[in-house]
């Protein structure tokens, strides 16, 4: 069904997808910008095509260049990875119209979930718990005031077209709401071209817990456990783990059932993630991501499923390979995102990697496309490696994480490794006692 896959991405995820293709016996095509000529994904692919200048807009976001590259090389499928065009419904649509298989969900599913206010409504109609708030986007400041008065402060304004924290405003009272309403709309308009915002009850110390889901074209949908992604800074995840130290098997079952209900309501196909906020024993739908995520290896390590190979098989029309019957997570896994950034200011720190030594040994996996003497270009995100550690339980995983972080050597650029070393020594983190507020407190303390 599929014989040659074009990877419309770069960095570690492009490499990760190439590895999956190789295991499936498929040919690969790398596309790259002028800044990425020496990138590993270009070296490992069977074919490669330069699709434009360094700037993402002119290369990795350039739909016509990418489609042309597929046509020229005879690729019959495109894997978008994460970021760039992964959640662009128009791109998925064009790929399909060109008789190329898009390795991901339908354009319709991407569109329905891309609008966060609409996704909230879809979740509500599917019987998935949501936080009290507005029905769809707010029509006026008066409606915002009415809804807030009905549910009580604090509330949070979120951009319908947003996600990942941009265009959000927390409001403690009516005065704050009054000024935040216009600011949030302006910010949303500037960032996404759509001013719509919606309103929800604001939770003070939730955990971010997400369920990995997978659907095939034969109508089967499975939930593959959760990832706890509460350790974030400025809406960038730093550490993810599975299982979550915060939830019971009962909550896991309920969250998984809710995630499956939502997927069934939209006929979801391929890999997806349903994000929930969890606080005081209750969970609430937040948003859905219609892509493979950065943190997918955490789920791979506790389920034994190769999610990227599964994406390709499902896109080719195969049934999910996940066995029917009782599903259980095995052991524990954690991912540490290694970014080339200043550990204090978190500013990106591109440049040449002068020394690069990866940790290894039992339970250690590193997904990376970096190497010694590699020059990190300044044009893209700062992720240079994902350290993924697993063990029989959380304590063994933490012990392995500690020694792997000690073993990990990167010189020439500043990285988040020293920060991770500090976090894995923190008592609250060790005890699994944290919320999305963890990093704020941690960095102040
Ligand atoms: C929230 C919330 C509290 N209450 N929504 C942040 C990213 C975006 N996806 C949604 N986010 C939040 N939404 C309600 N109703 C708190 C956050 C939030 C957060 C969530 C996950 C991880 C880190 C965070 C940091 C600040 C705020």
Domains of the chain with bracketed CATH: 4-87 (3.40.50.20), 132-201 (3.30.1490.20), 207-444 (3.30.470.20)
SS3 143: helix
Closest C-alpha residue for ligand 1 atom 19: 436
Q: What are the tens digits of pLDDT across the range 82-102? A: 999 999 999 999 999 999 999
Band of residue 333 on the pLDDT scale cut at 50, 70, 90: very high
Residue 167: is its pLDDT beyond 90? no
* Averaged pLDDT score across all residues of the chain: 97
Average pLDDT score over residue span 202-207: 98
Of 116, 131, 235, 236, which is best to mutate to test ligand 1, by the most ligand atoms within 8 angstroms of its C-beta?
235
Burial state string for 192-205 with b = 16 or more CB within 10 A and e = fewer than 16: bebbbbbbbbbbee
User: To test ligand 1's pocket by mutation, which of 201, 232, 237, 287 has the most ligand atoms within 8 angstroms of CB?
Assistant: 232
By alpha-carbon position, which residue is closest to atom 15 of ligand 1?
Answer: 202
Give bridge partners of residue 389 from the DSSP assignment: 334, 364
Per residue in 291-325, pLDDT tens?
999 999 999 999 999 999 999 999 999 999 998 88
pLDDT of residue 25: 98
Max distance between CA atoms of the chain, in angstroms, equals 61
Say how far apart CA 402 and CA 172 lie, in whole Å: 39
Neighbouring residues of 203: CB distance < 8 A, sequence distance ≥ 6: 131, 277, 279, 284
Mean pLDDT of 186-200: 94
Dist. CA 238–CA 335, nearest whole Å: 8
d(CA 13, CA 349): 20
pLDDT given for residue 343 in this prediction? 81
Lowest mean pLDDT among 69-73, 87-91, 187-191: 187-191
Q: Per-residue pLDDT averaged across 95-113, rounded?
A: 98
Could you tell me the distance, in angstroms and rounded to a whole number, from the CA of residue 180 to the centre of ligand 1?
17
pLDDT in tens, 242-255: 999 999 999 999 99
At 10 the three-state DSSP class reads coil
> What is the reported pLDDT for 8?
99
For residue 326, the model assigns a pLDDT of 77
Looking at 46-173, list the stretches that DSSP marks H as alpha helix, in order from N- to C-terminal side: 63-73, 89-97, 107-114, 116-125, 141-151
pLDDT of residue 212: 98
Percentages of the chain per state (helix, strand, coil), in multiples of 5: 35, 25, 40
* Predicted pLDDT at 445: 80
pLDDT tops 90 at residue 18: yes
Write down the pLDDT at residue 166: 76
Q: Residues 297-307, buried b or exposed e (16+ Cβ, 10 A)?
A: bbbbbbbebbb
> Phi/psi zone of residue 15: left (φ > 0), alpha (ψ -120 to 50 degrees), beta?
alpha
User: What residues are paired with 201 via a beta bridge?
Assistant: 155
pLDDT at 345: 87
Catalytic residue among 120, 185, 227, 291: 291
The residue contributing the CA closest to ligand 1 atom 22 is: 436
For residue 291, indicate whether it is catalytic: yes
Local confidence band at 269 (pLDDT 50, 70, 90 cut-offs): very high
Does the pLDDT of residue 165 top 90, yes or no? no
Q: Give residue 426's pLDDT.
A: 98
**Whole-number percent of the chain with pLDDT over 70:** 100
Provide the pLDDT for residue 351. Answer: 96
Q: Assess whether pLDDT exceeds 90 at residue 155.
A: yes
pLDDT given at position 305:
97
Nearest residue (CA) to ligand 1, atom 9: 164
Quickly count: other Cβ atoms within 10 Å of residue 378's Cβ. Answer: 13
Measured from CB, residues less than 6 Å from any atom of ligand 1 are 131, 156, 163-165, 200-203, 206, 208, 232, 235, 277, 286, 436
């Amino acid at each position: 069904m599929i014989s040659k896959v074009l990877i419309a991405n770069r960095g570690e995820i492009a490499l990760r997808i190439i590895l999956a293709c190789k295991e499936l016996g498929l040919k690969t095509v790398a596309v790259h910008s002028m800044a990425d000529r020496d990138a590993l994904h270009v070296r490992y692919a069977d074919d490669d095509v330069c699709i434009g200048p360094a700037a993402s807009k002119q290369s990795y976001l350039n739909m016509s260049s990418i489609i042309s590259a597929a046509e020229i090389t005879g690729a019959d499928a495109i894997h978008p990875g994460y970021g760039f065009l992964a959640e662009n419904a128009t791109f998925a649509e064009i790929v399909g119209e060109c008789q190329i298989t898009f390795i991901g969900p339908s354009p319709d599913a991407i569109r329905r979930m891309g609008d966060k206010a609409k996704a909230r409504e879809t979740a509500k109609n599917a019987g998935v718990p949501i936080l009290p708030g507005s029905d769809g986007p707010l029509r006026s400041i008066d409606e915002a005031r009415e809804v807030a008065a009905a549910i009580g402060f604090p509330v949070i304004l979120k951009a319908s077209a947003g996600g990942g924290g941009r265009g959000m405003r927390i409001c403690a009272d009516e005065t704050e709401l009054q000024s935040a309403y216009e600011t949030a709309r302006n910010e949303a308009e500037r960032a996404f071209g759509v001013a719509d915002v919606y309103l929800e009850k604001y939770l003070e110390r939730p955990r971010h817990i997400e369920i990995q889901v997978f659907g095939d074209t034969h109508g089967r949908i499975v939930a593959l456990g959760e990832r706890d992604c509460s350790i974030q800074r400025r809406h960038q995840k730093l550490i993810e783990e599975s299982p979550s130290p915060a939830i019971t098997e009962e909550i896991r079952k309920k969250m998984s059932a809710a995630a499956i209900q939502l997927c069934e309501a939209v006929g979801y196909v391929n890999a997806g993630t349903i994000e929930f906020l969890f606080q005081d024993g209750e969970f609430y739908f937040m948003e859905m991501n219609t892509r493979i995520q950065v943190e997918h290896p955490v789920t791979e390590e506790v389920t034994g499923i190769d999610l990227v190979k599964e994406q390709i098989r499902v896109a080719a029309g195969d049934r999910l390979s996940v066995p029917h019957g009782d599903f259980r997570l095995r052991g524990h896994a954690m991912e540490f995102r290694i970014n080339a950034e200043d550990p204090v200011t978190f500013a990106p720190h591109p440049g040449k990697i002068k020394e690069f030594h990866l940790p290894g040994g039992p339970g250690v996996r590193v997904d990376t496309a970096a190497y010694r003497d590699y020059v990190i270009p300044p044009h893209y995100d700062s992720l240079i490696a994902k350290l993924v550690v697993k063990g029989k339980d959380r304590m063994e995983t933490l012990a392995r994480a500690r020694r792997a972080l000690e073993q990990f050597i990167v010189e020439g650029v500043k990285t988040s490794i020293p920060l991770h070393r500090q976090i894995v020594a923190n008592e609250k983190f060790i005890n699994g006692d944290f919320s999305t507020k963890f990093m704020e407190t941690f960095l102040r303390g």
